Amino acid sequence: MSVLLYADERVLEHRPTVGHPERPERFSAAIAGIEAAGFGDALIRDTPSIVPVEALLGVHTDQHVKTIESYEGLEYVQVERDTRMSEGSLLAARLAAGAGLDAITGLQEGRADAAMVVMRPPGHHATPTNAMGFCLFNNVAVAAHHLTTQGHKVAIIDFDAHHGNGTQDIFYERDDVMFVSLHEYPQYPGTGAASETGAGPGEGSTINVPMPSGTTGDVYLRAFDEIIEPALESFGADWLLISAGFDAHRADPITNLGLTSGDFADMCTRLVSYSKPGQRLAFLEGGYDLHALANSTASCVAALLGEDLRAESSSSGSHDHGVVDLVKATRQ
C-alpha cells in the first residue's frame, strides 16, 4: 500500500502570535513523526497548489472569502476571538484548502491507496460565513463538496476533540454528505449534541457522539463498531474523508479526553477497513501537544498504509455514561 503526503513548509509562515496553540511547530512535529517512522517508498511526498476561488465558493460565501483575502500581507490581524492571521497566513490557508483537491486528483489517477494532508491552519470550525477556532477555510468541506460535484457520496469522520461545527453547518441540510463527529462535550465551540442530526433532505446524515471528559479509547471503539460502521453501510458513501484532529490525546493542553496514540492507530485502522483503496483521505486538524501530535500522526499514516505503529498502548477504563446508547437511540 502507499500514501500520498501533501505538505508544504510555506505553512510555517502562518504565525497567529507568540503563545498561540496553533503554532508553526505543530507542522514540524507532525512531519518529524512521519519521517521518524521510516515509511520509505510507501510514502509519496507532494506539494499542494493554491485552491481555486470557485472551490472555496462551493462551501463559503463570497463575503467570507473576500474578507479573508482582504487581510493579505498584513503583519497581524485578529479575525475573531481566537483566530488570527499574519503576513503568510492567507497563502497557507489557500494551500491547505488546495491540498485536498490535489490529493483527490492524485488518488483518482491511481498514484496511491490513500492520502494524508498535513497542512495548517486547520479547517473544520470555519463556517460558510465565518472564520473561527483557528480555522480560516474549511479544508475538508472544500474537498467533500468537490467530490459531490463529480457525483460522489462522501462520508466525513471527525475525531478531533472539538466539534466540527463548520463542517456540520455546511452539510447539515444535504443528503450527499454524511458528517460524523466524536468530540468532548461540553467543550468549545459548544455545539455537537446528540440531538443535532441534520435537517430537511439531510435529516439523519449528521451524527454527533458527544464524549464526556476523560473518555478512553474503548468507548470510542464501541462507537465505531455500534454507530459509525452501520451508519456508513447504510449511507453508502464511496469516499471517506477524515478530519484527523489529535487533541483528544490525554496529554493535550487544551482538552480533557483520555486517548493515546495507540487509540488513533485503532480508529484509523477501522476507518481504512470501512473504505475503498484510492478513496480515503485524511486532513490534519487539531493537536497541541507536540510529542503526542508527532506520535499520533505517524500512527494514522501507518494505518493508512495498512501497518500498525504505536508508541503507546490503547487506553481503556472510562465510563461512557450512556453516550453510545443515547446516540444509537437517536438513529432508531
What are the distances in angstroms from CA 147 to CA 118, 177, 284, 290?
20, 10, 19, 32
123: nearest Cα among 110, 132, 113:
132
DSSP code at position 242: E
- Whole-structure pTM value: 0.98
> Prior bond to 121 cis, omega within 30?
yes
Helix (H) or strand (E) holding 195: none
Structural domain of 26: 3-330
Is the CB of residue 119 less than 8 Å from the CB of residue 111? no
Report the pLDDT value the prediction gives residue 259, as an integer from 0 to 100. Answer: 98
For 97, 129, 156, 285, the CA distances from 177, given in Å and listed in that order, are 18, 19, 7, 19
pLDDT, position 283:
99
218: amino acid identity, one letter = D
* C-beta neighbour count of 68 within 10 angstroms: 23
Number of Cβ within a 10 Å radius of residue 197? 17
The owner of cell 447539515 is 172
What average pLDDT does range 40-61 have in this prediction? 98
Q: Could you give the 3-state DSSP secondary structure of residue 310?
A: coil
**Structural domain count, the chain:** 1
Which of these, 209, 130, 210, lies nearest to 166 by C-alpha position? 130
Query: Is residue 329 very low, low, confident or very high in pLDDT (cuts 50, 70, 90)?
Result: very high
**Residue of 236, 262, 329, 250 whose CA lies nearest to 288:** 250
Given a contact cutoff of 8 angstroms between Cβ atoms, the answer to whether 257 and 248 are in contact is yes
Q: What is the pLDDT of residue 288?
A: 98
- pLDDT at res. 244: 99
Partners of 157 in the beta sheet?
A: 180, 242
Secondary element (H or E) of residue 281: strand 280-284
Confidence band (pLDDT; 50, 70, 90) for 35?
A: very high
pLDDT at 175: 98
pLDDT digits (tens, 9 = 90+) for 160-177: 999 999 999 999 999 999
Is residue 320's pLDDT more than 90? no
CA distance 97 to 77: 20
**Does residue 279 surpass a pLDDT of 90?**
yes
Q: How far apart are CA 232 and CA 237, in angstroms?
A: 7
Name the band, by pLDDT with cuts 50, 70 and 90, for residue 16. very high
**Residues in contact with 81: Cβ distance below 8 Å, sequence separation at least 6, in sequence order:** 132
Query: DSSP 3-state assignment of 272?
Result: helix
Rounded to the nearest integer, the mean pLDDT of the chain is: 98
Q: Which residues are catalytic?
A: 125
* Type of residue at 213: S
pLDDT band at 332 (very low <50, low <70, confident <90, very high): confident
Q: Do 215 and 250 meet the contact criterion of CB atoms below 8 Å apart?
A: no
Sign of the alpha-carbon torsion through 181, 36, 277, 229: negative
What is the pLDDT at residue 321? 87
pLDDT at 192 over 90: yes
Give the range among 2-11, 48-57, 117-126, 314-323 with minimum mean pLDDT: 314-323
For residue range 176-190, list pLDDT tens digits in order: 999 999 999 999 999
Q: What is the CATH number of the domain that holds 82?
A: 3.40.800.20
Indicate if the pLDDT at residue 241 is higher than 90.
yes
Task: Using the predicted structure, report yes or no on whether residue 110 has a pLDDT greater than 90.
Answer: yes
The proportion of the chain whose per-residue pLDDT surpasses 70, expressed as a percent, equals 100
Amino acid at 239: W
C-alpha cell at position 98: 488546495
Q: In whole angstroms, what is the distance from residue 277 CA to residue 207 CA?
A: 24
Where are the alpha helices (H) located in the chain, listed in sequence order? 25-37, 53-56, 62-69, 89-108, 139-149, 165-171, 217-223, 229-235, 261-273, 290-304, 323-330
